[in-house]
C-alpha cells in the first residue's frame, strides 16, 4: 500500500513524531550524480517558515543510507531518512477520544483498532511528503529535458495570495488553494492503456498528498460544457503540436508532445483554533473543540513542489517503461 | 499496465474491431452466485441505442470462459469475453496517416511504432469498458450492502440533458457532461495510506475510462475557496456521521462512513463529422477532415454505469484488503 | 495470484473441463511477427499422444482474441484461448468426497469451500500450461539469440527412458523424471537483487508447473559437498566465460554469460489405477480407491517444453527490465 | 525488484559497507506486540562468531524508525535499520578490476556499468539478510501456532558438522551444506494457483539468500525415481493427515495440513584465501588471486535462521491473503 511505481518504485515510511520519516527508491538507474545538496532547493520550497505555515521547525536534513556511492547512484535501492526533532507530542493526547473534524483521527483509530500513532497526524502527516520530494529530485534528473513546474495560482478563492493569507490570519481560520502544474518539453507516448493512463497515475499519486480533493487535466471541468469542435485541438505539426491544448497534452491517456497541464484543489487545513463541534467517542457525547498545536493555515503554500515531485516520479516511471519496448 | 487491483484484480484485453474484448478477474472469493443474466441490467445501461449514442449495434452478450461453475464463482480466475460482430473497419483506414484531433490515433501510432490496431480505436476503444462493467457487477455483490449509483447530472453545460442532446444533434456536434457518483451504506476504514487513498484509487480507475478529464471528491474545487471552519464537517455521532459532507466521505484518504461522493467531467466525443484541421503525417501537410463512421455524440450518456463499476471494483479490493488485518 | 512478471506479464485462466483455458500476455513489444502456426511446434511437443501419455485428445488449437494484427503483435495485451472439447466429466464426480492421494482434490475443496470445479483437476490441471507454452513461444522470439532447450534426462530412476516407460505400463503404475534445461548465448546481467535473482524467478515459475518438486542450478545439491576451490569457476575471459560452470551461469543471482543450467524433479503422476487408501470425507471413513479416467503415467514426458517456456518468459522479463536502466 | 510479498510486503535496502542496511515491512497488522529485544534471539543465531564464521564484528543492533508505538505495531510501515560499523573497505579495492571467482563482482560491475558499491559485496552482501531475519521475527508472530524450524543437517558432505568445519579450517578452504526446514501445525489451504504455489514462493524467497543453489520439497529429487504408488501419500484423516509425507505437506501447490518440509543446498563461500585463477578485466590478462579480508568459511552455518525467516514471511503473506476470501 505504501509503495508506488512499476520500475522507478518508491516506498514511504514514518510517522510525524516517530524517530524518522523516509523513503526507499528502487529501480533508479546507476550513474546519476546525486548529493545531499541536490535536495536543498526543493526541500526548502516544501519547508515551513513563510507567513501562513506552521511554526514547527525541522532542519529537514536528508540522510542517505544506501544506493549512493562516490557521488553517484549505484543502481541499488536508495534509502533516505529525515529525523524528527522538533516534536511536541503532548499536543495530541486528547485527539485519541476527541477526533478533529476534517482530520484522519477518527478513521485512523477505527482502521487500526486504536494502535495507530496519532501524534502529529502519525503516518497521515504531511511530513511524509519529505520522501516524495526526495524522489522527485531524482526523478527530475531522469526525465530531463522535461521541466515540471507547479505554482499556487489561487488561495482562499482569491488570485491575490498574500491578501488571502493575511485575511485568514486575521480571521484565525485556514484556507485552501488551487495549484497548476505544467510540464514542458514533453515527448510523445508516455502512459499506458488501459488502466495506467497519464491522468490515472498522476491523479493516483497526487491524491495521496494530504489535502488534495480534486484534479483536472487540460480544460478539465470546463470540457464538460464544451462541444467537440470547441474542445478538439487541431493538429498543426507532424510532431503532434496542436493549435490549442484543451486536452492538457494527453490523448487516449498518452502524452502527445504538448505541455502536460493539470490543476488540483487543496482544501483548507483541518486543524484550526476556532471552536468546532465533534464527539467524544469514549463518552459518546458532543463536545466543543479548539485545536491547539502548530499548524499551517494554508497548506497549499507548501504543496507545489510536492506536486512537481509526484509528476516527475510518474513521468520517470513511464519513461523507463517505454524503454522496455524500444 | 492493463491490470488493476491488489486482491480483486482485473486484467483487460481486446480491440474494438478484433475478435473479442474481455476481462480476467482474479482474486474473486468462491461461492458468489453468478449467472450471465446478472450482467444484463448493467450491460444494457452501458449499451448504445438511446438518442445521442452510436448506431453500432453489438449484442454485448458475455461468454464466461472460466471461474464460474454450477452457478457460483469457484475462486479461480473469471474470464469473460464479448465477441465483436458489427464491425465496419473500412471507416478507419484513412486515420493511419491523418490522425483525428482529440483522438488517440496520433499517440497510438507513435507509441506502438505503427503496429497498433487503430480500427474503431483499437485497444483505446470505449468498447473495452465492457469488461469493466462485468467486473463491476461482481464487485457490487461483494460490497453489498454498499450501494453505488452514478448519474449524468449535466450535459453540454445544461442541466436539461434531453434538450442538450437535441441541440447537439441539430448542430451536428458532440457534447460533454458531468457525472456524479454516490455510494451509500459506507463502512469506516476503507483506503490505504500513503499512496492508496480512496481518492487515489478511484481516480486511477475512473481516469482510465475514455473521455474522463477531471475528478473531484466532496466539495472538490469549491473546497479551494472555503475556509477551515466552513469546510470541516462536524462529527455528530460515534459512528462517524458528520453534519455536512464536504469531505465526500473521506478523511486522510480513508472512508469515514458518510456517503462517498465524487463528480467527473467527460469531454465531448472527439469523433465529429464537422470539418476539422489536422495533419497528414505521411505527406506532412495540413488537411481538412470530416470524420465518418458511427460515433456517440454524447459518450457521457453511457458512462454512469462504468463509473459505478470502477467504484465498486475499487471498494471491493479495499474491503478484501481490510480483511487481511482483521 | 494467477499472474506473473513485471513487464512481460502473463495472466492465466481456465479449468480443465470448463469452456476454455487461456492466457493474457501484457507488455509484449509491438512489431513481433506472430501467427498461430508459430505455436504449432511447441504445442505439439506438449501434447499427449506418445506412449505413457493420456488418451484425452484435444486439438489444442490456439485462438488469438487480441493483441495481434496483420501478422504482428500490436503492443496491446495478447489474449489466447484453447477450447476444451474432449471432456468426460462424469469420471470426476466421486472425488468430491473421496480425494485422490497425491492430488489437489482435498486442498482445493477446503480452500475454496467446496465451490472449486474439480472436473479434470479444474484450475489445477496441467492443461493450464497451454497458455504458458504460448507465452513461451513469444518470449523465445524476444530473447533471441538466447536459445533455451530442455530435455527429459531420466525417468523412473533410469537413464533409458523408453525402458522406464515400458516398465511403468507393465506395472500399471506412474513414474517421475528429471528434466535438464540449458540456455545458451546468454548475456551478462540478467536478474535482480535482492529478491528477484535468476534462481528466484525461474524456480517461482517452474514450481507452478504441476508435478515439479525440486529445482537445482549448476552443481545444485552436489555443491553442498564441495569446497570453495572445487566449486568456484575460474574466470578465463573478459566476457566472463569460466573454465567450469558449477554456478550454472549465475553469480549473485545474475547471469554471467555462461550457459544457464538447471534441473528439476517431476514426481510420478498422482492418478493411478492401482488401489490406494484415502478417506471419504463425508462419511469420515477409510476407503480404497482405484482412479479411473485418462491420465498420463509419466507427465514428465510432456514437461520439457513447458520448462523452456517458463525459462523464456523469465528471461524475456529480465531483458526488458534491463532496458529500463540502459 | 528489491521487494517481496503481496500483503505482508518487505522492501530491502543497503550495502555491506554503506551507512546502514535495513528493511521496510508494509502490510503488517496493527496490535502485534513488538520490541527490539524480540529480535535478539534470531539475530544472534544469524550472527558471526562461531568457528567457521567471519571475524567481522557488528553489534547488529536494530533501530526501529517507524511502525511501532507503545510496544505494538501500528499498522503503518515498519522500517528497521542496522548501522554498519566494523568496516574495512580497503580490502575490496582490487576487486574492481579483478573479479573474484564465484562472486558477484563481475556481474555487478557489468550490470551497473561500474557504479555499484562493491565494498564487502555491496548490495549483494549476506548482510542484507539482517532485514529478512527482522521480518521473520514479526512473521513468526503472525503465523503462530505454526512453528518453523531449520537446521544445518550436513556440511562439506558430512553429517558430522564440527568435523567438517575443522577439516575446512585445516585445508584453508570453504565448504557448503544442506539445511532442512520443517514447519509444524500447518493449516490446510495456504498457497495460490497457478503461479503462486507454496513451492513457488518459498523457493523465490529462499533463492534470494546468497549461496543457495537448490531447493527440494518433500521427497524432492528422490520423487523422480519413485512410482505413483510409492510416492502418493495415503490420506488417513478428515483433517488431511497422511500416512507418509512424500509431498512435503503440499498438494497442487497448496498446504495440506501435514508438516511443510524442504531442504536447500548452500554452496561453499566464494571468498577463500587459496590461490585462484581469474582475469584482470582492465588489463585483459589472466591473474592469480588470493582473497584477503574476513569471510565465513561455511556460510551455511548462519543460514538456518534466515531460511526460517523466509518461510515465515511467505506463510504470513499466504495467511493474510487467505483471509480476503473468508
The chains in contact with chain D, meaning 3 or more Cβ pairs closer than 8 Å, are A, B, C
Judge contact between D215 and C260, C-beta under 8 A.
no
Q: Searching chain C, which residue's CA lies closest to the CA of residue B113?
A: C30
Note the pLDDT of residue C121: 87
Note the pLDDT of residue B225: 97
If we measure between CA atoms, which residue out of C149, C153, C204 comes closest to residue D215?
Answer: C204
Q: Do A320 and C320 touch (CB under 8 A)?
A: no
**What residues of chain A lie within 8 A of the CB of D14, using their CB?**
65-66, 77, 79
Q: Do B20 and C65 touch (CB under 8 A)?
A: yes
Judge contact between C129 and C214, C-beta under 8 A.
no
Angstrom distance (rounded) from CA D233 to CA B217? 57
pLDDT digits (tens, 9 = 90+) for C160-192: 999 999 999 999 999 999 999 999 999 999 999
Angstrom distance (rounded) from CA C262 to CA D252? 22
Interchain contact A254–C (C-beta under 8 A): no
Q: Residue A229's CB: how many other CB atoms inside 10 A?
A: 18
User: What is the grid cell recorded at D293?
Assistant: 579480508
Q: Do C157 and D224 touch (CB under 8 A)?
A: yes
Torsion, Cα C254 C259 C265 C266, to 10 degrees, reads 100
Q: Does residue A92 carry a pLDDT above 90?
A: no
Burial of residue B280 (CB within 10 Å: 0-12, 13-18, 19+) is middle
Note the pLDDT of residue C93: 76
Q: Does residue A252 carry a pLDDT above 80?
A: yes
Q: Between C13, C26, C79, which is nearest B77 by CB?
A: C13
Q: How far is D81 from chain A (nearest CA, A)?
A: 9
Higher pLDDT, B93 or A228: A228
Interchain contact B237–D (C-beta under 8 A): no
Angstrom distance (rounded) from CA B103 to CA B116? 14
Q: Does residue B11 carry a pLDDT above 90?
A: yes
Banded model confidence at residue B227, pLDDT cuts 50, 70, 90 = very high
Interchain contact D288–C (C-beta under 8 A): no
Note the pLDDT of residue A314: 98
Judge contact between B86 and B60, C-beta under 8 A.
no
In eight-state DSSP terms, residue D116 is: S
Q: How far is B88 from chain D (nearest CA, A)?
A: 39
Angstrom distance (rounded) from CA A81 to CA A73? 16
Q: Between A123, A176, A189, which is nearest B194 by CB?
A: A123
Rank C48-52, D258-262, D268-272 by mean pLDDT and report only the highest.
Answer: D258-262
**What residues of chain A lie within 8 A of the CB of B168, using their CB?**
227
Interchain contact A9–C (C-beta under 8 A): no
3 state SS of A61: coil
Q: Between C4, C101, C286, which is nearest D195 by CB?
A: C4
Q: Residue D159's CB: how many other CB atoms inside 10 A?
A: 10
Q: Does residue D45 carry a pLDDT above 90?
A: yes
Average pLDDT taken over every residue of chain A:
94
User: What is the grid cell recorded at B288?
Assistant: 481538412
Note the pLDDT of residue D210: 96
3 state SS of C45: helix
The chains in contact with chain C, meaning 3 or more Cβ pairs closer than 8 Å, are A, B, D
Banded model confidence at residue C303, pLDDT cuts 50, 70, 90 = very high
Q: Do C123 and B74 touch (CB under 8 A)?
A: yes
Q: Does residue A139 carry a pLDDT above 90?
A: yes
Q: Do A2 and D77 touch (CB under 8 A)?
A: yes
Least confident of A89-98, D3-12, D136-145: A89-98
Angstrom distance (rounded) from CA B90 to CA B87? 9
Helix (H) or strand (E) holding B288: strand B285-289
If we measure between CA atoms, which residue out of C324, C319, C273 comes closest to residue C54?
Answer: C273
Least confident of A22-26, A58-62, B311-315, D129-133: A58-62
Q: How far is B292 from chain C (nearest CA, A)?
A: 23
**What residues of chain B lie within 8 A of the CB of A208, using their CB?**
193-197, 200, 253
Angstrom distance (rounded) from CA C56 to CA D135? 47
Q: Do B235 and A188 touch (CB under 8 A)?
A: no
User: What is the grid cell recorded at D240?
Assistant: 488431511
Angstrom distance (rounded) from CA C31 to CA D167? 59
Angstrom distance (rounded) from CA A183 to CA A198? 13
Share in percent of chain C as helix, strand, coil (round to 5): 30, 25, 45
**Helices in D159-245 by DSSP H: which ranges?**
161-171, 198-206, 228-231
Whole-structure pTM value: 0.97
Q: Which residue pairs from B276-280 have beta carbons closer than 8 angstroms and sit at least 24 positions apart in sequence?
A: B276/A229, B276/A232, B276/A234, B276/B100, B276/B101, B277/A234, B277/A235, B277/A236, B277/A243, B277/B101, B278/A234, B278/A235, B278/B98, B278/B99, B278/B100, B278/B101, B279/A235, B279/A236, B279/A237, B279/A238, B279/B98, B279/B99, B280/B97, B280/B98
Which whole number is the average pLDDT over B223-242? 97
Q: Between A207, A216, A254, which is nearest B265 by CB?
A: A216
**What residues of chain A lie within 8 A of the CB of B243, using their CB?**
277
Query: With the C-alpha atoms ordered D138, D141, D144, D148, is the resulting torsion angle positive or negative?
Result: positive
If we measure between CA atoms, which residue out of D291, C20, A128, C284 comes closest to residue B252?
Answer: A128
Interchain contact A37–C (C-beta under 8 A): no
Note the pLDDT of residue A55: 80
Judge contact between C189 and D107, C-beta under 8 A.
yes
Could you list the beta-strand ranges (E) of C196-249: 212-217
Least confident of B91-105, B267-281, D146-160: B91-105
Chain C stretch 257-276, residues whose beta carbon is closer than 8 A to a beta carbon of chain D = 265-272, 274, 276
Which whole number is the average pLDDT over C188-199? 95
Q: Which residue has cell 528502487?
A: A26
Note the pLDDT of residue B291: 82
Note the pLDDT of residue D279: 94
Burial of residue D55 (CB within 10 Å: 0-12, 13-18, 19+) is exposed
- Whole-angstrom CA distances from C20 to A75, B36, B63, C132 are 43, 16, 11, 14
Phi and psi torsions of B20, nearest 5°: -165, 160
Give the angle subtended at the CA of D58 by the CAs of D55 and D64, to the nearest 5°: 160
Angstrom distance (rounded) from CA D320 to CA A265? 36
pLDDT digits (tens, 9 = 90+) for B92-140: 777 888 999 999 999 999 999 999 998 888 999 999 999 999 999 999 9
Give the angle subtended at the CA of A244 by the CAs of A239 and A249, to the nearest 5°: 60
Q: Does residue A293 carry a pLDDT above 80?
A: no
Interchain contact B88–C (C-beta under 8 A): no
Banded model confidence at residue B252, pLDDT cuts 50, 70, 90 = very high
Q: Do A74 and D14 touch (CB under 8 A)?
A: no
Angstrom distance (rounded) from CA D260 to CA D201? 13
Interchain contact C114–A (C-beta under 8 A): no
Angstrom distance (rounded) from CA A313 to CA A311? 5
Average pLDDT taken over every residue of chain B:
94
Amino acid at each position: 500500500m505504501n509503495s508506488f511505481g512499476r520500475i522507478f518504485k518508491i516506498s514511504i515510511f514514518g510517522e510525524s513524531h516517530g524517530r524518522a520519516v523516509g523513503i526507499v527508491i528502487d529501480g533508479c538507474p546507476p550513474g546519476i550524480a546525486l548529493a545531499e545538496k541536490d535536495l536543498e532547493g526543493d526541500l526548502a520550497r516544501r519547508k515551513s517558515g513563510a507567513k501562513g505555515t506552521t511554526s514547527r521547525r525541522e532542519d529537514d536534513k536528508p540522510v542517505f543510507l544506501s544506493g549512493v556511492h562516490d557521488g553517484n547512484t549505484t543502481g541499488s535501492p536508495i534509502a533516505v531518512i529525515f529525523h524528527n526533532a522538533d516534536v511536541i507530542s503532548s499536543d495530541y493526547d486528547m485527539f485519541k477520544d476527541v477526533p478533529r473534524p476534517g482530520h484522519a483521527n477518527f478513521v485512523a483509530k477505527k482502521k487500526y483498532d486504536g494502535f495507530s500513532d496519532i501524534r502529529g497526524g502519525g503516518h497521515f502527516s504531511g511530513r511524509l511528503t519529505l520522501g516524495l520530494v526526495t524522489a522527485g529530485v531524482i526523478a527530475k534528473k531522469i526525465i530531463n529535458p522535461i521541466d515540471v513546474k507547479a505554482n499556487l495560482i489561487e488561495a482562499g478563492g482569491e488570485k491575490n495570495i498574500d491578501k488571502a493569507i493575511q485575511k485568514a490570519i486575521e480571521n484565525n481560520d485556514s484556507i485552501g488553494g488551487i495549484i497548476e502544474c505544467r510540464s514542458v518539453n514533453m515527448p510523445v507516448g508516455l502512459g499506458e492503456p488501459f488502466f495506467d493512463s497519464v491522468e490515472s497515475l498522476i491523479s493516483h499519486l497526487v491524491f495521496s498528498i494530504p489535502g488534495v480533493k480534486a484534479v483536472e487535466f487540460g480544460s478539465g471541468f470546463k470540457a464538460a460544457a464544451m462541444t467537440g469542435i470547441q474542445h478538439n485541438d487541431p493538429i498543426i505539426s507532424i510532431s503532434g503540436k496542436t493549435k490549442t491544448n484543451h486536452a492538457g497534452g494527453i490523448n487516449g491517456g498518452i502524452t502527445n508532445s504538448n505541455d502536460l497541464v493539470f490543476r488540483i484543489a487543496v482544501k483548507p487545513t483541518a486543524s484550526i483554533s476556532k471552536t468546532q463541534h465533534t464527539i467524544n467517542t469514549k463518552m459518546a457525547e458532543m463536545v466543543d473543540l479548539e485545536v491547539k498545536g502548530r499548524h499551517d493555515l494554508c497548506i497549499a503554500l507548501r504543496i507545489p513542489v510536492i506536486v512537481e515531485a509526484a509528476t516527475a516520479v510518474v513521468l520517470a516511471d513511464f519513461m523507463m517503461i517505454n524503454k522496455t519496448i524500444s
